[in-house]
Amino acid sequence: MLKSPFKPRNPKDFKVLIFYPNLHMSALMPQSVGIFTALLKREGYSLDLFDCTYYQDIDSLTLGKNTNEEKVENRNVHKYDNSEWHEKGVKPKIGIVEDFKKKVQTFQPDLILVSVLESTYYLAIDLLKSIPENQRNYKTLFGGVFATYAADKIIKNDLVDYVCRGEGEGAVVEMAKALCTGGRIDQIKNLTIKGEGNIYRNGMRAPVDIDSVPIPDWDLFEEGSLYRPMQGKIWRAVGFETQRGCPYTCTFCNSPSNNVEYKLETGGKFHRKKSIERMRKELDFLVKKYDPNLIYFVVDTFLAMSNREFDELKELYSDYKIPFWMNTRAETINEYRAAGLEEMNMLRMNIGIEHGNYDYRRNYLKRNVKDEVQIRAFEIAAEHKYASCANSIIGMPDETRDLIFDTINFVRKLPDSIDATGAFIFAPYHGTPLRTLAIEKGYIKEEEICSLSNTSASMLSMPTISKEEISGLAKVFSLYTKFPKERWSEIKIAEKNDDEGNKMMEKLGVEFDNTYRQFKATALDLHD
């Protein structure tokens, strides 16, 4: 039996530090932090937050290049004016290590909640390492997608006491209560716990009723956290979750694993949708409290719904008509829905094509979507003058340069009105079938973790294509999709990471901005 190491006390005297190891100027305020804040406030605990978002010296630790800057340099996203962002209250910071140490020393938490992705795990660990051992009078609880599928790996770290697998709404509250009251902690579901020389890996609880989850509370964040760039402008934005999970089975994503794991362990269904009544209540609250001029639908596949469900959502959202953006799949888009999205005032859609070779897409990615279906989705977006982004992944297992050019040539078939052509380097995330395949083929080692530095570059050591070539193609992917083929010899020079390549990239990048952004800017103005 394992009990709390703390003496019982009143909740107001129990201090919880929520630690958000976000990358520099990346990601909106997360749903999880907002929900846990609301839950723990309800229980009366003393709360504080350490948010890494604004620190410019994050890359001084172990992480490497700023991902937002890299996306701009590679022409995957629009440039934005930093000065405008600063005018909105965003305050860049320096001194992340010292500020974190100061936060821990002054707040003196009993429990530190850490929400991590694979790309932010090492950042969290590096900052926790900075706290002297004689000041570590707290317990740490790690959660998030990465923690769910690498709990056995994370719990071995000396800086980690507890790991939450799956949804944390119930587990976090139970753990805080048990620690605060001096109760038993070794049987709390969803948790992997280390103590007294043992590791307790408890079973999973049923999926939460997402209608009963509290509305996110982001009051611990700075005002500037509401702002983020989109299409070259700065918006006041909040995230809005309409459903949780995804019904599809893509092998590069760990959402399908949630479906499998929850069904096996609990018999429950992980993919759930909020009721219209709950969505209206939440939107009313968010609009009144935060006054956003942009909504991001925090959903893996926004249009994964029936026409009846879409009509209900359209009717609801038409009362607000706040511009929004979302992620979806090509087969979820048709003329009927496109017209409805226009009524709702959609600003932008991101469509994952992932790969341009149908056989590779079907056999490796389990995305059995015909080329013509994908092309038609973008044509519909263009007809409605929507800003759209074609997202692709390169450097996947067994991929070759020719296969990557299948994707480039496929994107070239899409309408010229596409706002961006993002190419992400494949990351073998825990809990995904493609990670398992990569390990089986010897392309990565089982113990490797996707830090920022290796999601900006390939982790795979493959005989079919080198890591350096994958990085070079990611750098110039957008150029290949837009420039005439007679200019491809110049683009190939820009693939190189040397003086000649970087000079060529700078030259072609300016030309790209001047030539291939003009139509897009005109199209975007129609939404203003």
Same domain, 177 and 308: no
Do you know the residue count of the chain? 528
How far is the C-alpha of 437 from the C-alpha of 443, rounded, in Å? 9
Per-residue pLDDT of the chain (528 residues; tens, 9 = 90+): 889 999 999 999 999 999 999 887 777 889 999 999 999 999 999 999 999 988 888 866 654 444 555 555 665 555 555 566 677 777 788 999 999 999 999 999 999 999 999 989 999 999 999 999 999 999 999 999 999 999 999 999 999 999 999 999 999 999 999 999 999 999 999 999 998 888 999 999 999 999 999 999 999 999 888 988 777 788 899 999 999 999 999 999 999 999 999 999 999 999 999 999 999 999 999 999 999 999 999 999 999 999 999 999 999 999 999 999 999 999 999 999 999 999 999 988 999 999 999 999 999 999 999 999 999 999 999 999 888 899 999 999 999 999 999 999 999 999 987 877 878 999 999 999 999 999 999 999 999 999 876 677 999 999 999 999 999 999 999 999 999 999 999 999 999 999 999 999 999 999 998 888 644 433 344 333
Same domain, 193 and 317: no
pLDDT for res 69: 59
Same domain, 37 and 141: yes
Pairing of strands 272-273, 294-297: unpaired
Burial of 222 (0-12, 13-18, 19+ CB in 10 A): middle
pLDDT for res 52: 92
CA atoms lying within 13 Å on the CB side of residue 17 = 23
Tell me, yes or no, whether 171 lies in a domain. Answer: yes
Number of domains within the chain: 2
pTM: 0.92
Query: Which residue has 């290049």 as its token pair?
Result: 65
Tell me, yes or no, whether 417 lies in a domain. Answer: yes
Same domain, 149 and 61: yes
pLDDT for res 527: 37
In 3-state terms, the chain is what percent helix, strand and coil (to 5)?
A: 45, 15, 40
Element (H, E) at 488: helix 488-494
Same domain, 274 and 128: no
- Packed helices 118-129 and 96-107: angle between N→C axes, nearest 10 degrees: 70
Same domain, 384 and 435: yes
Q: Could you tell me the two tokens for 37? A: 């804040």
Q: Could you tell me the two tokens for 286? A: 């968010």
CATH number for the domain harbouring residue 420: 3.80.30.20
Pairing of strands 162-164, 15-20: unpaired
User: For residue 195, which phi and psi values (nearest 5 degrees)?
Assistant: 180, 140
Tell me, yes or no, whether 211 lies in a domain. Answer: no
pLDDT in tens, 149-201: 999 999 999 999 999 999 999 999 999 999 999 999 999 999 999 988 889 99
pLDDT for res 91: 76
Same domain, 194 and 244: no
Give the residue from 415, 412, 404 showing the smallest Cα distance to 473: 404
Tell me, yes or no, whether 24 lies in a domain. Answer: yes
Asked if 464 and 364 touch (Cβ cutoff 8 Å), the reply is no
The mean of the pLDDT values for the chain is 90
pLDDT for res 386: 87
pLDDT for res 67: 53
Which letter does DSSP use for residue 317 in this model? H
pLDDT for res 520: 44
Tell me, yes or no, whether 490 lies in a domain. Answer: yes
Same domain, 311 and 401: yes
Same domain, 307 and 386: yes
Asked if 262 and 269 touch (Cβ cutoff 8 Å), the reply is yes
Give the residue from 240, 386, 244 showing the smallest Cα distance to 316: 240
Torsion angle of C-alpha atoms 17, 18, 24, 29, degrees rounded to 10: -140
**Would you give the end-to-end CA distance of the chain in angstroms?**
61
What is the identity of the amino acid at 406?
D
Which letter does DSSP use for residue 464 in this model? S
Same domain, 266 and 187: no
Q: Which of 184, 201, 218 is the last residue of a domain?
A: 201
Pairing of strands 423-425, 15-20: unpaired
Same domain, 78 and 145: yes
How far is the C-alpha of 341 from the C-alpha of 204, rounded, in Å? 37
Give the residue from 70, 59, 191, 221 showing the smallest Cα distance to 126: 59
CATH number for the domain harbouring residue 170: 3.40.50.280
Neighbours of 447 (CB within 10 A): 7
Burial of 91 (0-12, 13-18, 19+ CB in 10 A): exposed
Same domain, 196 and 235: no
Name every residue whose Cβ is closer than 8 Å to that of residue 130 and which is 6 or more positions away in sequence: 97, 100, 101
Tell me, yes or no, whether 220 lies in a domain. Answer: no
Range of the domain at 304: 231-525
Pairing of strands 191-195, 198-201: antiparallel
pLDDT for res 178: 96
Tell me, yes or no, whether 206 lies in a domain. Answer: no
Strand partners, 162: 141, 193
Q: Which of 157, 185, 201 is the last residue of a domain?
A: 201
Tell me, yes or no, whether 21 lies in a domain. Answer: yes
